[in-house]
Structure 1
Amino acid sequence: MQRVTIVGSGFAALTAIKTLRSRDKSIDITVVSPKPEFHYLPGSIWIPSGLRKPEDLIIQLDSFFQRMRVNHHPAEATGLSDDGRILKTTEGEIENDGLIIASGGRFIKKLPGIENAITPCEGISATTRIRDRLRELDSGVIAIGFSGNPKEPSAMRGGPMFEFLFGIDRQLRLEGRRENFKLIFFTPAEKPGQRLGPKAVKGLIQEMEKRDIETHLGQKMVKFTATSIVMENHSFAADLILFMPGMTGNQWFDNTKLPRSPGGLIQADDHCRVEGMTNVYVAGDSGSFPGPDWMPKQAHMADLQAAAATKNLLSELKGEPPSETFKVELVCIVDSQTSGMLVARTEKRNIVMPNMAIFHWLKRLFEWWYIRQYR
């Protein structure tokens, strides 16, 4: 019986499990992650307003693992040996015939004073902190921004920050408190949202103007303090700072011979195969893949990469060359609590549809559909 080890229990990992089991009923699957849980982070944008509670988005995977006949190894990955055939973990070593790395990315937290900011995509607990801080504040300045990894153009996650920006604006209006707050959006990019496409940039800026959101664009951040953000040429006060830094690879990658991109991610080819290694694949935020510089780091892209990686690994295990590639596709709804803007981008098309209530409800419907398969 052939053995496949999957590192992680997020979007890419779960898609890999489903793809493996649908194509091979006998293969032995071991998943390595601290807990048998899936955190549906896209829904965390609704925690500050109370539309979602943490328990709505933390899915226990015991039943799913049982249905898929998965062995869960509760541990963290710490390294590799024997050219990837042995995964080292905090709870011992695991041998494999094939390895899929889907352990996500790590935020670059080198900016001085970054501990004064909340990074929403770090997890559900971060968004509950945002919820609690908003409840505590009677008035003040809320600053929301993001940056990237200069050595890895695709290693950023700006979309959720637009959602927190517009969502908090809408939440404060519904609560009758918006006039007590100044909202500021900041980023070193001169044209925020470029990876969503030129049409989206224009739409996002117009939306900020419409909502009376102040912008600070095109300047690098120097540091954060408990009460301010210091930019290259100026600074401004902030009572609550939400900031999404760029992403790099997991720290455990440093204890391996995995090939790395200039930005610190695992270098992969267009088949999601880790370069120079046999039967080792990567999907999602952990990897650096060939493609356009606007290639997204989002759940949909992770799913597409995981499906390709899994099919190629099964081919390799059969002695056949990998042939599956993945489509580079960005699809998202930039939600603002009661409405949303649809953005879709491929190498041939860029579609942007304005804020409409139907898109908010479609996003909620998709969440229900996606989560139910793992309950």
Structure 2
Amino acid sequence: MSGTNPSAAGGIVVLGAGFGALSTVRVLRKQGCMAPITVVAPRAELHYLPGTIWIPGGLRTREDLVVPLGKFFQRMNVRHVAASVTGLSDDGRVVRTTAGDVPNDVLVIASGGRFIKKLPGIEHAITPCEGIDAAERIRDRLRAMQGGTIAVGFGANPKEPSAVRGGPMFEFLFGIDEQLRREGRRERFKLVFFNPSEQPGARLGPKAVAHLLATMRRRGIETRLGHKMVRFDADQVVTEGGAFAADLILFMPGLTGPAWLDQSTLPRSPGGLIAADAHCRVAGLERVYVVGDSGSFPGPDWMPKQAHMADLQAEAAAANLIADLAGRQGTQGFKVELVCIIDAIDHGTLVFRNERRQLVLPPSRVMHWAKRAFERRYLAMYR
């Protein structure tokens, strides 16, 4: 259902319409929470960003990956306020939005992070995980290119090592390589992977890094590693170790908190994310929670910024929120694990990591189809 009077809202307010936000809603209702829920997001849509890796190769279109949420909100008895957040007041009890103030009794922040775009010349690069538009730009650029150099890389938040999303960049890299081979055009292109670390993707674990670098060597992908980036030009990438030509640059910067945090009193980590405890509570505030990319959580330095982690945090936040509403102290934490299938159009490599073990399975078609099956099952919950 859709609301037109934001000031009438109360109960539980969830900011965002991504993985963490929608999982919070699902878990709350599944656990029998009957309190009013309001979702504040610009659109009543879920954009399934993991599927954007398949847009350049034509395996997915915008229509495949945008899921209208009207029916889901109706089933969950959720009120939607179509607005962007501009700030908070009263220690989180009032959300400032472009459609007016939205009061709450409990607040869950799941509005995602923001890419750090301070590198000079970053306007010359495409940031794939910014959304479907970005993936379509990559698709269109590839179709128009007759040859040249494609540079793919990612950076980090120097003050928040875990605030990085490198996995999709390996998928775009290997996916583009495979696509060009299928089209019979690979020999006209040079692919270069660049990263300021000597061990890119270290959060995936040493086995995964070794596998990724070996795959690049086998596929004839050049690497420029271990040098800090200086700037991007329209036709080159400049690092402290030198410059190299690039006709198309794909680059994923590190993450920080959303811009509206500046209009709030929320505590922040050194990297600019919302400081949270192990139960997803925002430090020092009552009944204010954070899940997903917006938050900085205690845990190992390899804790991922990915949809699966947001879902796990949403489960903990929902359980603790229900306890709070019942007058109890919620103590549920979230498990930390990294699960991803690094896909290359028709085969994928499973990477798993938790605090006890690391696992890397050899590339197989089974993993590619498993990734597609997961997407279908996941989206079915919201259709």
The 3-state SS of whatever aligns with 1:354 is coil
**Amino acid aligned to 2:164:** M
Q: Does 1:313 align with 2:317?
A: no
Aligned match for 1:293, one of 301, 309, 319: 301
**Amino acid aligned to 1:40:** Y
Distance 2:251 2:10 in 1: 43
Q: Does 1:94 align with 2:102?
A: yes
Q: Does 1:272 align with 2:280?
A: yes
Contact 2:10 2:103 in 1 (8 A): no
Give the equivalent residue in structure 1 for 2:371: 363
Aligned match for 1:123, one of 131, 149, 154: 131
Give the equivalent residue in structure 2 for 1:156: 164
Distance 2:191 2:86 in 1: 41
Distance 2:166 2:99 in 1: 35
- What TM-score, normalized to structure 1? 0.99
Distance 1:335 1:233 in 2: 30
C-alpha deviation, 1:24, in angstroms: 3.0
**Amino acid aligned to 1:68:** M
Give the equivalent residue in structure 2 for 1:172: 180
Distance 2:146 2:372 in 1: 29
Contact 2:10 2:102 in 1 (8 A): no
Give the equivalent residue in structure 2 for 1:342: 350
Give the equivalent residue in structure 1 for 2:6: none
Aligned match for 2:233, one of 207, 210, 225: 225
C-alpha deviation, 1:238, in angstroms: 0.3
Give the equivalent residue in structure 1 for 2:254: 246
Q: Does 1:27 align with 2:38?
A: no
Distance 2:131 2:158 in 1: 24
Higher mean C-alpha displacement, 23-32 vs 133-142: 23-32
C-alpha deviation, 1:25, in angstroms: 4.7
The 3-state SS of whatever aligns with 1:24 is coil
C-alpha deviation, 1:2, in angstroms: 6.8
**Amino acid aligned to 2:110:** A
**Amino acid aligned to 1:57:** L
Contact 1:2 1:27 in 2 (8 A): no
Contact 1:268 1:282 in 2 (8 A): yes
Distance 2:365 2:177 in 1: 16
Aligned match for 1:36, one of 38, 44, 49: 44
C-alpha deviation, 1:319, in angstroms: 1.2
Structure-to-structure mapping, 1:20-99, within 5 angstroms: 20-99=28-107
Runs of 4+ in 1 over 3 A off after TM superposition: none
Q: Does 1:106 align with 2:114?
A: yes
**Amino acid aligned to 1:131:** R
- What TM-score, normalized to structure 2? 0.97
Give the equivalent residue in structure 1 for 2:360: 352
The 3-state SS of whatever aligns with 2:95 is strand
The 3-state SS of whatever aligns with 1:269 is coil
The 3-state SS of whatever aligns with 2:174 is helix
Identical-residue share of aligned pairs (%): 63
The 3-state SS of whatever aligns with 1:302 is helix
Structure 2: 5+ residue stretches without partners: 1-8
Contact 1:221 1:232 in 2 (8 A): yes
Distance 1:47 1:230 in 2: 28
C-alpha deviation, 1:194, in angstroms: 0.6
Distance 1:218 1:298 in 2: 25
Contact 2:33 2:322 in 1 (8 A): no
**Amino acid aligned to 2:304:** P
The 3-state SS of whatever aligns with 2:361 is strand
Q: Does 1:259 align with 2:289?
A: no
Give the equivalent residue in structure 1 for 2:223: 215
**Amino acid aligned to 1:125:** D
Q: Does 1:5 align with 2:37?
A: no
Contact 2:11 2:106 in 1 (8 A): yes
**Amino acid aligned to 2:69:** L
Contact 1:190 1:218 in 2 (8 A): yes
Distance 1:155 1:107 in 2: 10
Give the equivalent residue in structure 1 for 2:3: none
**Amino acid aligned to 1:143:** A
